């Protein structure tokens, strides 16, 4: 079956919702306007229950089918937050907030799930219950974790959960997915190297933190090249170096480095943390200094469940005729927390030949809306058929 005709009819309305959200972006947990709009629309649609304030500013709507004898409950999740980026698209509906922009398409995700919710509340052509989840703070805040910690899964007895993300560079309105590890864990670290500062003309009287740092930065690359199995994915990047001195003739007392680690397994994550500590401490000791290592764990690896992934791909094929194999993504996604709590799957919907996400010229393509809405609606109707 192709995209549902109802979503073609609703496209102008859903597009208007999306562009309003795009014009008024909100960051992290500060999605107060967005959350209020979502809650109001769910009320207009006639949802059976609407709860706000989950995960601080998250919104949940409950829609019961014409029958609920199956006892099945499915969660559908969209993220709502924007990024701290100044928009450079020049669009008539560009962000009105300096330094904030929907540069990852969460405006599109929210609008598509609202469209699916409107349709499902109108038709209720399923046997079970659907829980639509609108989540704040995906972009680094861990809103998915906070909604889970607020008891969302148990409160509504959600049994499976599904999510979606637009994907620039993939054909507009087509789908891609993969089972197992899909998006990487997103850890960060900070290392403070301490030595003995002094005059640059008398290096023998110092413990040179610059030499210490340079050696450590180079050696950290051996984690991927010499510690990890070549078939495992791991990225260790140093992204910032900051000295306690900016003078031309001073060897600094202290240098701080910061960076990120991306892995596709718990084992690689543990290895990276262990080796960063060992390398930085060992290098510092070699030069007579010290290293204070702070390793901070972020989002876990996002792992699609095998059976639900196959089902999600079959649903995509029923809409567009195909579903491609998605690549591994070394970016992070806090839908991982929901997939740790319940089986489910996360799929990509093509955004066409557009700027990449997290780019100041990115824009969600509204022509992808019918495909995305149809996929969410079909997940419900095919998983919980009315007859």
Residues contacting 214, CB < 8 A, separation 6+ = none
State both tokens at 204: 């023998």
Which positions make up the binding site for Mn(2+)? Answer: 104, 106, 139, 165, 358
Buried b (16+ CB within 10 A) or exposed e, 240-273: eeebebeeeeebbbbbbbebbbbbbbeebbebbb
Buried b (16+ CB within 10 A) or exposed e, 324-335: bebeebbebbbb
At 109, is the secondary structure helix, strand, or coil? helix
Q: How far apart are CA 220 and CA 275, in angstroms?
A: 8
Residues contacting 40, CB < 8 A, separation 6+ = none
State both tokens at 53: 């304030």
At 278, is the secondary structure helix, strand, or coil? helix
At 215, is the secondary structure helix, strand, or coil? helix
Strand 250-251 relative to strand 198-199: parallel, antiparallel, unpaired? antiparallel
Report DSSP state, residue 99. Answer: T
Q: Which of 234, 26, 22 is nearest to 141 (CA)?
A: 26
Q: How far apart are CA 295 and CA 274, in angstroms?
A: 9
Strand 180-183 relative to strand 175-177: parallel, antiparallel, unpaired? unpaired
Q: How far apart are CA 378 and CA 316, in angstroms?
A: 9
Which positions make up the binding site? Answer: 104, 106, 139, 165, 358
Cβ–Cβ < 8 Å for 319, 374: yes
Q: How far apart are CA 211 and CA 230, in angstroms?
A: 29
Q: How far apart are CA 188 and CA 194, in angstroms?
A: 20
Q: Which of 246, 247, 255 is nearest to 210 (CA)?
A: 255
């Amino acid at each position: 079956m192709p995209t549902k005709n109802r979503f073609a009819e609703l496209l102008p309305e859903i597009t208007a919702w999306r562009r309003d959200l795009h014009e008024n972006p909100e960051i992290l947990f500060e999605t107060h306007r967005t959350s209020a709009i979502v809650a109001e629309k769910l009320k207009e649609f006639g949802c059976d229950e609407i709860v706000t304030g989950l995960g601080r500013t998250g919104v949940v709507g409950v829609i019961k089918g014409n029958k609920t004898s199956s006892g099945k409950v499915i969660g559908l999740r969209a993220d709502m937050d924007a990024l701290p980026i100044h928009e450079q698209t020049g669009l008539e509906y560009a962000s009105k907030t300096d330094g904030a922009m929907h540069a990852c398409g969460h405006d599109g995700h929210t609008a598509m799930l609202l469209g699916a919710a409107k349709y499902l509340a109108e038709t209720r052509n399923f046997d079970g219950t659907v829980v639509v989840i609108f989540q704040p703070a995906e972009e680094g805040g861990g809103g998915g974790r906070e909604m889970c910690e607020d008891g969302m899964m148990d409160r509504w007895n959600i049994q499976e959960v599904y999510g979606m993300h637009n994907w620039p560079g993939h054909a507009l309105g087509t789908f891609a997915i993969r089972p197992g590890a899909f998006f990487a864990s997103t850890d960060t670290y900070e290392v403070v190297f301490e030595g003995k500062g002094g005059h640059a003309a008398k290096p023998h009287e110092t413990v040179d933190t610059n030499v210490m740092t340079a050696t450590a930065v180079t050696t950290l690359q051996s984690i991927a090249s010499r510690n990890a199995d070549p078939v495992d994915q791991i990225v260790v990047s140093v992204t910032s170096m900051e000295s306690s001195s900016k003078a031309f003739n001073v060897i600094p007392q202290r240098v701080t480095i910061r960076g990120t680690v991306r892995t596709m397994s718990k084992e690689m994550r543990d290895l990276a943390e262990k080796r960063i500590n060992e390398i930085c401490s060992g290098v510092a000791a070699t030069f007579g200094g010290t290293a204070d290592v702070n390793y901070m764990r972020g989002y876990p690896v996002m792992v699609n469940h095998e059976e639900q992934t196959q089902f999600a791909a079959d649903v995509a094929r029923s809409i567009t005729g195909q579903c491609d194999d998605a690549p591994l993504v070394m970016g992070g996604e806090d839908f991982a927390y929901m997939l740790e709590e319940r089986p489910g799957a996360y799929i990509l919907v093509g955004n066409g030949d557009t700027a990449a996400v997290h780019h100041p010229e990115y824009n969600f393509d509204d022509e992808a809306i019918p495909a995305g809405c149809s996929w969410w609606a079909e997940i419900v109707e095919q998983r919980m058929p009315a007859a």
